[in-house]
Amino acid sequence: MNGGEALDAVDEFSSVDPAIFTLSRTSANEVLYDGAAIEQETGLECRLVMTACWAPDHRLRWQAEFNEDLPPNLIYGSGDYSFILKSADAYADTLLDKLDGFPTSNRTLRGSIGRSFLAGRSDQAASYVKIRWVNLADMGNGLPLDPPEGVAGHRWRGRQRWFMGDWEMVIDARPDLQDTIEELRESLGFAVTHLATLRRIDRTPFTPEELEPALFAYQLAASFALSRWASPSLSAGVDNSGVVVWREWGSRRADKIKGVYRWWSRHLEPIEDIVARVGCRALHPQWGMAAKLIIQGYLASTHGGFVEERITVGFAALEQLGWQRNVTEDGADEKQYDWGLSASKRLRMALDAASVPLDVPASLPLLQEFVTLHGNEKKEPLDGPNAVALVRHKLMHPKDPQILYGRKDLVTEAWQLLETYLQLLILHWIGYSGMVKDSVMLLNSTQTIWPAPWPKSPAP
């Protein structure tokens, strides 16, 4: 079903959520529960506050305040506490078991949880879910939105619809998105940048178990476009009467906005096409796991840690992608592909299939010099696949460190070329054929924005 067939003239998502006008620019943290609870070991009632946090780390933080001094078994016990929630309809009688914590006063316990879980009536199906996107970005202009009656503001173009398999996400950018993003770049913090709703295209209800693969696929697709993690979190399942029946408690992974060079921007191609194509792979019944590993490998290789780590995980993602395309999908002989071809030959074959130039670009002079001096070790062409594979080999099997580290920034140049290869080969694999941003000028020596070099592909 295409987008036009799925749209209703008017539906329950036609109005913008008023909460979008109250979002903080400086914090994505949100109180998930603030109400009565019963501590299980003692039966004492307390006020329990549970907060989803992105800073200083991605955790759930909790605090229990009692009306009387804590007994010794709570102060000097194991540090594992359990509570039953007693208020809020969706969460009443929810058990929070074995929470790690410690006393901070005679009447207060406090702790944190690194895992996410589902609170509420998880056995009930939802008609749609409400979602808060943390540290997304400007994903391009969309449909116009107007402030609700009684809310001050002006019209802005902030709504998009992202289709993925059997699912539809309606995503609204906050009206002050640009100012919020600028503040996040300065603060290196986290904030809710978009509110969204997600449902099946045919409107059939779904369980949390059915939702999770689609929600993660949406996260992978948006994160792949941004070359960093963005977080669709705190999904709240709403039944057909408009009541929240369950909610995700936890902060999914999100990266800081600044410091990552991404291949996509809203000036290139509509994000909807990327979402649909990545989703088609991530939700594939047989190949979805491989797709998820490849995209996650790419994200892990884009930033953070040492450059050597990025090369290692990025090359692993390239190998996974090559195996997926050649052996799993095209039926190549396993032994011939694995043992009969070197790593550089496998990479060269993939680049040839995508019509990607093989020469080391002039923008990477140290890597050009390196492959010229050392690339004949295995009698292979003195090209980019040879250079990248050789650097990775010498990182994994180190001998003389002077070879790599005697040339300042050589390893960084190898990582830059590997990143470009990985981006282009994933895009080729998912059938994308729009414009790309080529930071090393591999496709063209005079500009960084260029059409994908392979033929155009049909819509997913």
Q: Is the dihedral of CA 69, 72, 73, 74 positive or negative?
A: positive
3-state secondary structure of 380: coil
Q: What is the domain extent for residue 34?
A: 30-120
Indicate whether 49 belongs to any domain. yes
pLDDT of residue 114: 86
At residue 337, what are phi and psi to the nearest 5 degrees?
Answer: -70, -40
d(CA 42, CA 40): 6
pLDDT of residue 2: 33
Find, among 231, 224, 357, the residue nearest to 294 by Cα. Answer: 224
pLDDT of residue 426: 98
Residues 420 and 321 reside in one and the same domain? yes
Indicate whether 54 belongs to any domain. yes
Whole-structure pTM value:
0.93
Residues 240 and 336 reside in one and the same domain? no
Residues 116 and 136 reside in one and the same domain? no
Residue 355 vs residues 41, 85, 228, 358, 454: alpha-carbon distances, Å = 66, 59, 26, 9, 6
Indicate whether 456 belongs to any domain. no
Indicate whether 458 belongs to any domain. no
Find, among 198, 202, 201, the residue nearest to 213 by Cα. Answer: 198
- Asked whether 19 and 133 are in contact (CB, 8 A), the reply is no
Q: What is the pLDDT along the chain (460 residues), one digit of tens a residue?
A: 333 333 333 355 678 899 999 999 999 999 999 999 999 999 999 999 999 999 888 999 999 999 999 999 888 877 889 999 998 778 888 999 989 999 999 999 999 998 889 999 988 999 999 999 999 999 988 899 988 887 888 899 999 999 999 999 999 999 999 999 999 999 999 999 999 999 999 999 999 999 999 999 999 999 999 999 999 999 999 999 999 999 999 999 999 998 888 899 888 889 999 999 999 999 999 999 999 999 999 999 999 899 999 999 999 999 999 999 999 999 999 999 999 899 999 999 999 999 999 999 999 999 999 999 998 877 889 999 999 999 999 999 999 999 999 999 999 999 999 999 999 999 999 999 999 999 999 998 888 999 999 988 777 7
d(CA 289, CA 307): 26
d(CA 87, CA 119): 12
pLDDT of residue 57: 86
d(CA 380, CA 382): 6
Indicate whether 266 belongs to any domain. no
d(CA 383, CA 294): 24
Residues 133 and 101 reside in one and the same domain? no
pLDDT of residue 443: 93
Residues 105 and 226 reside in one and the same domain? no
Residues 183 and 65 reside in one and the same domain? no
Count up the domains in the chain and report the number: 3
Domain final residue pick, 77, 100, 120: 120
d(CA 226, CA 261): 8
pLDDT of residue 4: 32
Indicate whether 195 belongs to any domain. yes
pLDDT of residue 6: 35
* CB burial of residue 382 (10 Å; 0-12, 13-18, 19+): middle
Residues 204 and 216 reside in one and the same domain? yes
**Residue whose pair of structure tokens reads 């913090």 in the numeric block:** 189
Residues 148 and 229 reside in one and the same domain? yes
Bridge partner list, 99: 81
Residues 206 and 347 reside in one and the same domain? no
Domain final residue pick, 120, 151, 176: 120
Find, among 225, 224, 217, 203, the residue nearest to 284 by Cα. Answer: 217
pLDDT of residue 101: 93
Domain final residue pick, 120, 144, 170: 120
Residues 215 and 305 reside in one and the same domain? no
Residue 213 vs residues 126, 165, 274, 285: alpha-carbon distances, Å = 15, 11, 17, 11
Indicate whether 421 belongs to any domain. yes
Indicate whether 397 belongs to any domain. yes
Residues 102 and 238 reside in one and the same domain? no
Residues 351 and 306 reside in one and the same domain? yes
